[in-house]
Amino acid sequence: MCKINVKRFFERLWERILWVYVKYISPYKPEPQPEPIIEEPKPPWFGCSIYELIQMEIELIKAFLKQLKKAGGNATEIFLVHSHDGNMFQPYSFDMWEMNTPVFNLDVWNETFWDNFRYFLTACKDLGIVPFIRIHDQCSVKNPERAKFYCFLQNKQGFKTIFDKGLYLYYSRLNQRILEELNIASIETFFIIPMNETDGSSKEVYDFHEWYVKDLTGK
C-alpha cells in the first residue's frame, strides 16, 4: 500500500492555492519585467572571423555568436559573398547553367541568403556584437580572371571583370540592401570592408574603391 507524505501533500496544496489566488483573485499584478538592455559595443574590438558563417544553419550561427560572447568577444567578421570551393550561396538568385558555367540572375535576390543574413544581424544585436562585413572576396577582386562561381562574374549580363563599370549598378543595389538590413536590425555600429587586393592595375583598384566608398556613403 502506498504511503502518503501528509506534510508534503499539504505543502503542495498550499502552493497551488497561492498560485490560483495570485493569478486570478489578487488585485495586485506584478509589473512585467523589462527586456535586458545590452549596451552598444565599444572598442577595442575583440573577436574572430568565420568565412562561411552565413551559409550555415541558423542554429549554428546563433551557437557561434553565443560562444563568441561567452569568450568575451564583441565583434565578428563575416565574408558576405564568396565562392570558396564552388559555393553558390550568394545574395543573388541562381538562375541556370550556360556552357557548364553557373549563371546568376543579378536582378533577383536569393531570399534564403538574406533570411540567414537578417538572423545573423539580429543575433549580433541581441548579444552586443559588432558585425564586420567583408563585401568582396578573392574571387571577386583578387583573381577576377578565375571567374569561379561568382555572381558578378560569368553571369548572363556578360560581365567578365570586377572593374567593368556596368557592374556598379549591382554593387550599388547590394550596398543599399545591406544598409537596409542593418537599419531593420537597429545596428548602429558596423563596418563594411571592401577587399582591396587585386591582380588588376593600381589605378583600377583606386578607381573602383573610390566609386565604392562614394556609393556606400552617398558622399
pLDDT of residue 181: 96
Q: Using alpha carbons, list the distances in angstroms from residue 105 to 151, 160, 166.
A: 8, 15, 15
pLDDT of residue 149: 47
With contact defined as beta carbons under 8 Å apart, do 157 and 166 qualify?
yes
Provide the angle, in degrees to the nearest 10, between the axes of the packed helices 111-127 and 58-70. 20
Summarised one tens digit per residue, pLDDT across range 69-89 is 999 999 999 887 655 455 567
C-alpha cell at 42: 565599444
Task: Tell me: pLDDT of 138 over 60.
Answer: no
- List domains and CATH numbers for the chain: 46-84+91-217 (3.20.20.80)
Rounded CA-CA distance 141/200 in Å is 8
60 or 12, which is more confident: 60
pLDDT of residue 80: 78
Give the residue among 157, 194, 183 at the shortest CA–CA distance from 80: 194
With contact defined as beta carbons under 8 Å apart, do 88 and 149 qualify?
yes
Q: Within the chain, where are the H helices? A: 6-20, 58-70, 111-127, 168-184, 202-217
Summarised one tens digit per residue, pLDDT across range 97-135 is 666 666 777 888 988 889 999 999 999 999 999 999 987
Summarised one tens digit per residue, pLDDT across range 38-63 is 788 888 999 988 877 887 888 899 99
pLDDT of residue 147: 46
pLDDT band at 12 (very low <50, low <70, confident <90, very high): confident
Summarised one tens digit per residue, pLDDT across range 147-198 is 444 556 556 666 666 667 777 888 888 889 999 999 999 999 999 887 655 5
Predicted TM-score (pTM) of the model is: 0.73
C-alpha cell at 153: 562574374
> Are β-strands 101-109 and 92-98 bridged in parallel, bridged antiparallel, or unpaired?
antiparallel
